[in-house]
Amino acid sequence: MANQSGRHFLQIPGPTPVPERILSAMSRQMLDHRGPTFGEFGLKLLADVKTIFKTHNPVIIYPSSGTGAWEAGLVNTLSPGDQVLIVETGQFAVLWRNMAERIGLKPEVIPTDWHSGADANKVEARLKKDKSHDIKAVCVVHNETSTGARSWIDEIRKAMDAAHHPALLMVDAVSSLGAMDLRHDEWGIDVTVAGSQKGLMLPPGLSFTAVSQKALAASKKAKLQRSYWNWDDMIAINAAGTFPYTPAIGLLFGLAEAIAMLHEEGLENVFARHERLAEATRRAVRGWGLDTWCRDPRSHSPAVTAVAMPESHNADAYRKLVLENFNMSLGTGLNKLAGKAFRIGHLGYTNELTILGALAGVEMGLELAGVPHEKGGVTAAMAYLSETVRPATAKA
């Protein structure tokens, strides 16, 4: 019989645990979504959500998962047969590419070894060769949730500028928003795609496209079919704080609370917390004598760590054992990582003790499964976390 006492440790990289404050905020009675009270709420929410994307431009909110926002970004800005350049950092880049192909675009992939983020130099080199500007969009996953590798979007922007290329820059921030710094305006992103169930600490069900003026201009000429995803309807009706169709009202109540929580902590503190918990996790992995799937130190994700399983063992059998014995869900390995890696999510509503509890479960699981490892991973993580306690807290 599986151990189900105590709190379940949901350590997958999304959906992430939802704070009590957000759960309470969502359990309110519904409103007339075309009435004045909702309109007032909607106006404030649509303004406030921009602060999380660091943009002054529209952020369009859909009742959908992140995949829907991928589609919205593509169909609003592009036309059948347009070329798009996608850096294949991992499984989510693969899925984005497949979607582009299905909807009638011509995706071209810049491969990676799946052990690092996007290489801006390769993007620049490819764009420089595209003298006739056939490539209409460059798509990069900010945080590749499948491998635990981040990409540096400011560098991609610089690469595009250095190539003097007019393509749109589309960024998947599904697992980075609210966990890693994202500057939609400053980094010249044209479409930022995001979802609710990760750094925003909400249940799944909301997705976002933050757009630039350039993306809006492109949408006036884009010929791909769109109806539900159409930005024009959204932007026109959002001007009154309302939506062209029934919004996910409960989730929007939760979103308002999530934004308040992120600002109470301070966005920079939120990002620093994620960096610190990620570093503690990596020290634990090293302490066990294991490897992170991401091999490039600059690419380590602050949101999720994929751990390479020694070849003698299957990562999914290990995850099953951890779930049954310690009531903890770890992320499965996707695509090339299937059976070969497990993922530890450390994003969203997470603190030192949650991550240490999770790491203790991982270490006990390694022992139980007979995975060759060294002792002391959790100790290394604890040592790092105590050394780096914020001074105000330490003095208290």
Chain residues binding ligand PLP by CB under 6 A are 14, 65-67, 92, 141, 145, 172, 174-175, 195, 204
Q: Which is nearer to ligand PLP, 167 or 200 (CB)?
A: 200
Which CB sits closer to ligand PLP, 204 or 244? 204
Instruction: Tell the smallest beta-carbon distance from residue 129 to ligand PLP (Å).
Output: 28
Least distance in angstroms from the C-beta of 64 to ligand PLP: 8
**For ligand PLP, the closer CB: 145 or 350:** 145
Q: Cβ of residue 384: shortest distance to ligand PLP, in angstroms?
A: 26
Q: Which is nearer to ligand PLP, 151 or 242 (CB)?
A: 151
Buried b (16+ CB within 10 A) or exposed e, 281-319: bbbbbbbbebbbbbeeeebbbbbbbbbbbeeebbbbebb
Q: How far apart, in Å, do the first and last CA atoms of the chain sit?
A: 43
CB of 267 to ligand PLP, least distance (A): 20
What angle (nearest 5°) sits at the alpha carbon of residue 230, between those of residues 135 and 253? 120
Closest CB 388 distance from ligand PLP, rounded Å:
27
Burial (Cβ within 10 Å: 0-12, 13-18, ≥19) of residue 365: buried
**Residue whose token pair is 């090339």:** 336
Cβ–Cβ under 8 Å, residues 38 and 241: yes
**Longest pairwise C-alpha distance within the chain:** 63
* CB closer to ligand PLP out of 92 and 243: 92
Q: At closest approach, how far in Å is the CB of 63 from ligand PLP?
A: 12
| Of the candidates 366, 290, 291, 288, the residue with the CA atom closest to the CA atom of residue 326 | 366
- Choice between 112 and 175, CB closer to ligand PLP: 175
Q: What are the residues facing 210 on neighbouring strands? A: 59, 192
Of 92 and 271, the one with the shorter C-beta distance to ligand PLP is 92
* 73 versus 377: smaller Cβ distance to ligand PLP: 73
Q: What does each C-alpha distance from 159 to 156, 179, 213, 300, 301 come to in angstroms?
A: 5, 24, 20, 21, 21
Q: What type of residue is 191?
A: V
361 contacts: CB under 8 Å, gap ≥ 6:
9, 11, 322, 326, 328
- Please identify the residue of the shown chain whose CB is closest to the bound ligand PLP: 66
CB of 203 to ligand PLP, least distance (A): 11
According to the annotation, is 226 in a ligand binding site? no
Main-chain phi, psi angles of 109, to 5 degrees: -110, 135
- CB of residue 376 to ligand PLP, shortest distance in Å: 31
270 HSE (CA, 13 A, CB side): 25
Alpha helical stretches, state H, the chain: 20-26, 36-53, 66-77, 91-102, 120-129, 153-162, 213-221, 231-238, 249-265, 267-287, 315-326, 352-369, 377-387, 391-395
- Compute and round to an integer the Cα radius of gyration of the chain: 21
Q: Give the residue numbers of the binding site for substrate.
A: 343
